[in-house]
Structures are given as structure tokens and as C-alpha cells.
Amino acid sequence: MKNTFKVFGIIILSMIIGFSFLACGEPAGGSAAGSGQYTGKDVLGNTYSLSVGSDSSKAAVKGDNFKMDVKTRDGKTRNITGTVTDVSADGTLTLKQSGTNVEFTAMVDGTGLDAVIGDATSPLTLGSGGDAVQFVPRSFDNIFLRVQRWESNTDVSVGKIIGENYGSGLTVLVKDFPTNVSKLVKENDRYTITITGTSNVDLDNVALEVQGVKENGDWVWLAQNEESVSISANTPFNKTVTLDNITSESVSLNFMDYKEIVLQFTNVIKKEFEDHPDWDSNVIGSIPADIPDGTVMATISNFNIVLKDKTKEALAGNMSDYTYGFKEDGLSVEYKQAVWKLSAENIVNAKKSGARFEFAVGIDNFEEKGTRLDFVWQDPVSGLWWQDQSWVSGMDPDDDYQTFKLGDGVTWDASRKRISIDLSAIVSNELFSSSTELNLIIGCWWFGEEEAVNIDVLDIMGANIVVPPQVTNTGNMGNYVYGYKEDGITIEEKQAVWNISDNILTFAQTDGAKLELVFKQDLESRENYPMLILYWQDITDGKWWPNETDDENLIIFMYDTEESTGKEIDGVTYDSTAKKLSVEISKFFGNYYTDKAFADATDVNIVFTCWWGIENNISELGIVSANIIAE
């Protein structure tokens, strides 16, 4: 049946190009309920204000003039003017732009503008003169399924097909919704689409098709699900389907090659194959003949989609997978951007003192490529879309692009391929602290000798909002930070890590040097006796774990079950009165890294870990001070 479904997708394609502009026939009086003043917002945050007629107290009627103001996310307001060419009883206004004669539709209800539907092949002209832009109305979170009747006899192997369904037409533009997919690969079962919303009627046979629209107006069927799903009326739904039918034709599956990517949401009512009746799909019989094409049969509110590549593992760290962004105008998808929508917890953490935004990449030549990155934050609720744009990395223009430069507050860990951005160093807009929603964005503008075309060239592996422990330690080692798990990006809060300054490292490499840790509590009196591990990391050579020794050789504190007391460990003393743990460094910082002794190291982390005896966080031990002393 896969070929059958593919043919069906191509047939529907021939229906949808002109479909958005169909009306149901002019009702008596030819007017739409409402005041003639309608407002709405698309899923990208662009706002629309439609005024019809000269008298705001009357309903819209055929022949009225209209003006639609569109405030895009760049803060600019531009308008479109023209005439109303048709009005339908269901609230559909067909509008024709003056000058270009391009038609589009608007769905109105009372004072609400529920949708503005254009045609990717015939964009509107928004504004005039030098401020004019080509504009295709973006997706709203309401979609309307209308009657479609069709027939086709284009494939002789299949024969004539007659179909009836409800369809969404041009209302769902895939690029307007979160996705980690910029192109498809011809592998069935690899991609999923999750749809959410609420339908006002039962939908028994829902199919989703992905189609591309070229610059020249050609439509290309790309993929669809083969197993239909059902949706119950007036009940919020959350359905995930697999795109298990990818086109086998020799066409581009790269979304960047198409002007638009359209999702066709259809509820199949009837599909008859004259030559193959065993293929028929007849759900409720047929649509009554007195219901004309274009009639709205279902309304889905709060509609959203997420297109995912199942082979892309979830990114490491405490942030979600990124999605692609939009250009400053809020109208055009920007594949050069990675956008992270912060969780409620991360919004709080991002505003804390010392908070950092970190992300790890998979490429080995980040510096050699002169990777040009920028940082931006957004607050969608307040309409703040392009805030505190800051240099992250790239070739220095002040040095004639000869040296690689990091921005203020930015560090690059080459061994772990991790960028760390001190948010307090680059966020200056005070509105950041009062934001209730936050997006963080990284834009990749240049990679190697060519302008970047897709953020995916970085092979981003994970991202974190990192907040340092909210503690103040005395002693010459200063405050600790948390460590990282093996992936190099996920935070390990059971570790306390000190990066040792040059002069303290000199002490540590002296014969007889000790590490002393003082705690708020007696470790031996805790309900859960802790097991503590100590080791060092060589940052210069990227040696993070001492694989050349048994883990038990790193233990500095543990309970001896045979003696029912603390285990005696050579080189370690513990004073329960002073609550002080002393460790002879030479006995624990051995030569467990190949070709690198501790005495020869020049850039060192000391890592203190508690795997057993705490619930979640090393701070439960109450470290008060940390010192390196040399006798």
C-alpha cells in the first residue's frame, strides 16, 4: 500500500494550491459576524490587526476595503490594503491585495482573527517602498479542516481514484514549529511528528503529509504516515505518528531547498480505487452532496507540531534539544541558529549570580575553522526578540582576521570541546531578570572559509545552565565548582572541583604537601557514613580520570564494615573534634596518567567526590575551607 499512499499525496497536492481561497458560497446578506475589527497573533509572535470597511460598528461585507497591519518581531509595523472579494458564513474573508491582486484568506470570529492564510507561491507585499518585504502569513494555532473532493487517473498501475476528505490546506507551515530536522533521509520509520491540540469534532482517520513548495511554485510530496490515527471531539489530544512513507523519487529532501514546507493535516472520509476495490478506505461513507467544497468541517485549537529525527539522541545536559531559529524579521526560518527554550527551573538558574550557559560541540577543528558565533536571548511573552547580541567566537577583525578571538565572559575548553558563557558578562538588559519565558540562541555565521548555512555543522552534543555552588569557602584553594559526568557536559553535583592557581600548585608539588578540608559537621557522626574519593585532572593534556590505577586507590575516607569504624588509610588523618580531613598529596596523586606525573603538571584540577553517603549534592557535607599546605 505504500505506493497507494504516495499517489494519494500527489493527488491531494493538486487540490491544495487553490484551496485556501475557496469560499462556501456567499450567504444571505454577504456579511461576516463581528465588528469589522479583528486582531490575532501567529505562532511566531507576529501580530495582525485587520480593519474592514469604514464603519467599525458594522460587520464585514463583500466589496469592503480592508487594511491589515502586521507587526513583525523586528518591531516594525507594515500594512496591506485591498478589497474583500468574498465572505462566507463560517467567517472566511477572501481578501485581494491592491496593486498585486494577490488573494489570501482570513478567518474571523467576533473580534478575533483566528488565521491568516496565504500562498507560498504568491507572497504578499508587506509595506511599501524601501521598507517593503515579501510576506507569506505564518501559521496560527487554530487550523480549519475544509471539504476536499478530488479524483485522479494519473498512475495507470493504480487506475482511477476518487477521494473525499477534510484538509488543512496551506495553514500549517512546518518551519514555524519546533524541529531538529532540516532535511530528510530516505529511511522509513526515522522521523516522527507529534501533533497536539483540541478538535471540535471526532476525526476518525487522520493522515499527515509533508510537502515542499519550490520557488517556482512546484509542489513536491516528501513523506507521510501510513497508519492513521483517531481524535476525539473536545478532548485535548497528543498524538505521535511515524513518517513511514518517504518518497522514493529523485527529489531533494533538504528543507532549505524549498520556499516552504507544508504539513497537510487530513481526515480521510472516502477513498475508492476503481481497479482495486480491496484498497478502498471508506470511513463514514461520503460527504453529503449539499455541503460544498471549502466548507469548514472541523476546527482545531491550540494546535502545535514537533518534527523529530529519532536517530538524533537527546542532547546531554539539563537543557532540551535545540530547534532552529528565525531571522530578525520573525518571518524567515534561520537554520544558522540553535534555539533553546529554557525550563522554569533553568529560567530561575540563569538569573543567579555566576550562572553560565555552556554547550559542547562534536567537531575537532572549532578554532582552526575560525568558527564565528553570536549569543542572543529572547523573551517571547514580552516580545523581546533580539536582545544583547554578543560576540562568542571568531576571527578577530581588529587583527585583520588573523587570530581567533573569544568574547568577553567566554571560555573554550579545547580538550572537552566546550564553550562556556558567563551570562552576567554579556546580558546587560535589565528586563532579563524579570522575564517569565526565556530562549537562549547561538548563531553560527561563519565556518571555515565559507559562510555557515546550518548550525548543525557544529555537531552540538549538549547544553547546560550551570550555577556554581552557593557556598563561600575559606582557605587558599577558594570556592569549589561542580564537576562533569563522562560526557563532559552534564553536571556532576557529587563532585567538588578546584582549579589550582600556579602558586598553590607549587605548594602542592612540594614534598610533604597536604590537602586539608574542614567541614561544618563531623563526618563520622553522619547518619550515612560517606565514602570519599580524591584525584587530580591534567587540563593541559585533557586527562580527566586516572585510568592507570584501581578506583580503591583513590579512596581517602570510608567505613570499615569488619571493624565497624572508619577505615584507616595510609596518608590520611581525620580529626573529629576539628572536623578536619588531612591528606598527604604525594601518596594519592601518583603517576596514574601515562607520560604525566603530578609533579610535572602545569594546569590542574583537584577533584573531591562523594559517591556514597549523600543524597544528591556534595554541599551536603558542608565544606567550610580547603587548603594546600606545605611543611
167 pLDDT above the threshold of 90: yes
Per the model's pLDDT, the better-predicted residue between 36 and 32 turns out to be 36
3 pLDDT above the threshold of 50: no
Q: CB of 118 within 8 A of CB of 16?
A: no
Q: What are phi and psi of 424, to 5 degrees?
A: -65, -20
- Strands 572-575 and 531-538 turn out to be unpaired
User: Per mean pLDDT, which range of 201-210, 241-250, 341-350, 372-381 is the poorest?
Assistant: 241-250
Average pLDDT over residues 479-488: 90
Give residue 472's pLDDT band: very low, low, confident or very high (50, 70, 90).
confident
Using CA atoms, how far apart are residues 137 and 262, in angstroms rounded to an integer?
13
Give the CA angle between residues 273, 276, 279 to the nearest 5°. Answer: 75
H or E element that contains 14: helix 2-16
Average pLDDT over residues 74-88: 90
> pLDDT tens across 40-67, in order?
999 988 899 999 976 555 677 889 999 9
Average pLDDT over residues 143-160: 79
User: Per mean pLDDT, which range of 280-284, 405-409, 443-447, 521-525 is the poorest?
Assistant: 280-284
**What is the model's pLDDT at position 277?**
79
351 pLDDT above the threshold of 70: yes
CA distances from 500 to 148, 256, 508 (A): 71, 48, 9
| Three cell numbers, residue 260 | 516552504
> pLDDT tens across 420-441, in order?
999 999 999 999 999 999 999 9
- With a pLDDT cut of 90, the percent of the chain lying above it is 56
79 pLDDT above the threshold of 70: yes
**What is the model's pLDDT at position 54?**
61
**What is the model's pLDDT at position 154?**
56
Single-letter residue type at 586: S
Average pLDDT over residues 535-543: 88
Single-letter residue type at 607: V
Using CA atoms, how far apart are residues 219 and 266, in angstroms rounded to an integer?
17
- With a pLDDT cut of 70, the percent of the chain lying above it is 90
151 pLDDT above the threshold of 70: yes
Average pLDDT over residues 445-454: 84
User: Per mean pLDDT, which range of 35-49, 221-235, 285-299, 317-331 is the poorest?
Assistant: 317-331
CA distances from 243 to 37, 232, 350 (A): 41, 22, 37
Q: Which of 155-164, 325-334, 533-542 has the highest mean pLDDT?
A: 533-542
Neighbours of 585 (CB within 10 A): 24
Using CA atoms, how far apart are residues 580 and 286, in angstroms rounded to an integer?
83
Average pLDDT over residues 114-140: 87
Give residue 9's pLDDT band: very low, low, confident or very high (50, 70, 90).
very low
> pLDDT tens across 219-248, in order?
899 999 988 899 999 999 999 999 989 988
User: Per mean pLDDT, which range of 102-111, 441-450, 540-549, 601-610 is the poorest?
Assistant: 540-549
8 pLDDT above the threshold of 70: no
| Three cell numbers, residue 45 | 509572535
Q: How many residues does the chain have?
A: 631
- Quickly tell me which residue has 518518497 as its cell: 247
Give residue 310's pLDDT band: very low, low, confident or very high (50, 70, 90).
confident
**DSSP annotation of 475:** S
| Three cell numbers, residue 422 | 558567563
User: Per mean pLDDT, which range of 360-364, 569-573, 590-594 is the poorest?
Assistant: 590-594
Listed residue (102, 116, 101) closest to 46, CA to CA? 116
Q: CB of 288 within 8 A of CB of 189?
A: no
Bridge partner residues of 387 (DSSP): 377
5 pLDDT above the threshold of 60: no
Mean pLDDT of the chain: 86
Bridge partner residues of 531 (DSSP): 612
Using CA atoms, how far apart are residues 310 and 180, in angstroms rounded to an integer?
10
CA distances from 248 to 169, 184, 193, 223, 397 (A): 24, 12, 20, 9, 47
Using CA atoms, how far apart are residues 114 and 192, in angstroms rounded to an integer?
27
Give residue 286's pLDDT band: very low, low, confident or very high (50, 70, 90).
confident
Give residue 366's pLDDT band: very low, low, confident or very high (50, 70, 90).
very high
Neighbours of 162 (CB within 10 A): 17
pTM confidence score: 0.75
CA distances from 314 to 193, 318, 402, 467 (A): 16, 11, 36, 22
Give residue 593's pLDDT band: very low, low, confident or very high (50, 70, 90).
confident
Neighbours of 563 (CB within 10 A): 9
Task: Determine the distance from the C-alpha atom of residue 371 to the mean position of all C-alpha atoms in its chain, rounded to a whole number.
Answer: 21
29 pLDDT above the threshold of 70: no
CA distances from 364 to 358, 360, 418 (A): 17, 11, 11
Give residue 27's pLDDT band: very low, low, confident or very high (50, 70, 90).
very low
**What is the model's pLDDT at position 15?**
41
| Three cell numbers, residue 126 | 508587506
Per the model's pLDDT, the better-predicted residue between 247 and 159 turns out to be 247
> What DSSP string describes 188-206?
TTSEEEEEEEEESS-EEEE
568 pLDDT above the threshold of 50: yes
**What is the model's pLDDT at position 541?**
85
Q: What are phi and psi of 455, to 5 degrees?
A: -60, -20
